Amino acid sequence: MSTSQLQLFQSAVMQSWNAIVITDADLAAGCCVEIANPAFCAMTGYSLDELRGRPLKMLQGPDTDPAVIDHLRACLREARFFEGTTTNYRKDGSSYIVRWNISPVRDDDGVLTHFISVQQDISEHVRTERENRLLARALDATSDPVLLTDAQARIIFANTAFVEVTGYPASEIRGRTPALFKSGAHDDAFYAGLRSSLASGQDFRATFINRRRDGSLYHAEQSISPICDEAGRITHYVSVSKDISQRVDMEQALRDAATRDKLTGLYNRHRGEQLLEEAAAEARTGGGPLTVIVCDVDHFKQVNDRFGHPAGDRILIEVSGILRQSVRGRDAVIRWGGEEFVIVLDACPQAAAIDLAERIRVRIAAHRDVEVGRVTLSLGLATLAPAESTDELIARADAALYQAKRGGRDRLCVAESRG
């Protein structure tokens, strides 16, 4: 090696960012230090004078891994490359985690003369990794579903709670986007608001209706937050949610209890009167004609007296089902009281309402209960007149119903139009 090359080698070693130490190859003496660059001295806290002539065993301590040291000694004995990680100790007694490799150095005749070691203090890296693992375990242990995506909304982490709620294994959703869980229950404006909030660096909070792997829906109170780097660029998004399906179901049950008839599941009279007023207001502002049908199960008292109230209840349930199946989705079917029902047909001309009422009458008459047999329905129909109140409308339909009963039952009567 020329003088210039030797000088270059010495400069490279002494100026290297990595810690470099060169020892002799005297295994019996422990391979003592001959050269250590400033980076090695800074890492260990020892000066070159304090290191020179001493074996690096001086850096070992209570937490130094014996298995790593045993492997190191075997490699040195066999003059082969070594690489490992363990805990070392500085001059002041503080510990650090070192990752290092050792290479044997031979002379021109192939005789082993030295070992050169390149080392790095990876304590901060290990600490960060441990903190990240702890954070991951903490996120995984929390009972709230947590989802982490990259800036392109590709899923990179889902905790156990999220997996349990959605039914998707983590391996199946990793790399996909949260669009996988869309239920179709939200409109474009909902997602536009989400994108706008996140793009401006703000959190987005809402109740989501999501779809599980098995196709079932669930409600989630969800908060989505952007994560930014030091330059303010969005690098990730984190979502924390809570499955509130049980609460939503309970609230719906309470609403149903307040608005639905317990036996038939139809609207109760209180809610029915509200719906009738709403339909009448719409009809008065040009929403189309409003027609109501009032119907009553014929000879219902005789059914109860002869077959008992359970049979009577069953008849009411069967009639309710036929009424629901016979009308449009927008129409309201109401249990008005006892065996009496009211059907509110908004935006329905009287001629179409008469056809519907007749079909209902025929379907009821054709139905056979397993115990009671055939039952029939009498119906009265009226269409809202200008300036007429809903009470007056119901009274006219009621009068038409009683006309049908007096006329022999199992028939429809239509109230005369009001001028």
For the chain, which residues make up each domain, given as ranges?
3-121, 127-248, 260-414
CATH code of the region 3-121:
3.30.450.20
Considering the entire predicted model, what is its pTM?
0.53
CATH code of the region 127-248:
3.30.450.20
Give the pLDDT confidence score for residue 403 in this predicted structure.
Answer: 96
Tell me the backbone φ, ψ of residue 208, rounded to 5 degrees.
-95, 145
Whether the Cβ atoms of residue 277 and residue 393 lie closer than 8 Å to each other: no
Architecture in CATH of 260-414: 2-Layer Sandwich (3.30)
**Tally of CB atoms within 10 A around 252:** 10
Q: How is residue 285 annotated by DSSP?
A: I
Decide the pairing of beta strands 412-414 and 377-383: parallel
Query: Which residues form the catalytic set?
Result: 339
Contacts of 153-159 with C-beta under 8 Å, sequence gap 24+, read: 153/177, 153/178, 153/237, 156/236
Same fold, 3-121 and 127-248: yes
pLDDT tens digit at each of 419 positions of the chain: 566 766 777 777 788 889 999 999 999 999 999 999 999 999 999 999 999 999 999 999 999 999 999 999 999 999 999 999 999 999 999 999 999 999 999 988 899 999 999 999 999 998 888 888 888 788 788 889 999 999 999 999 999 999 999 999 999 999 999 999 999 999 989 999 998 998 888 999 999 999 999 999 999 999 999 999 888 899 999 999 998 888 888 887 787 778 899 999 999 999 999 999 999 999 998 878 999 999 999 999 999 999 999 999 999 999 999 999 999 999 999 999 999 999 999 999 999 999 999 999 999 999 999 999 999 999 999 999 988 999 999 999 999 999 999 999 999 999 987 75
Please give the full DSSP string across 109-139, using - where no structure is assigned. TS-EEEEEEEEEE-HHHHHHHHHHHHHHHHH
Give the pLDDT confidence score for residue 207 in this predicted structure.
Answer: 92
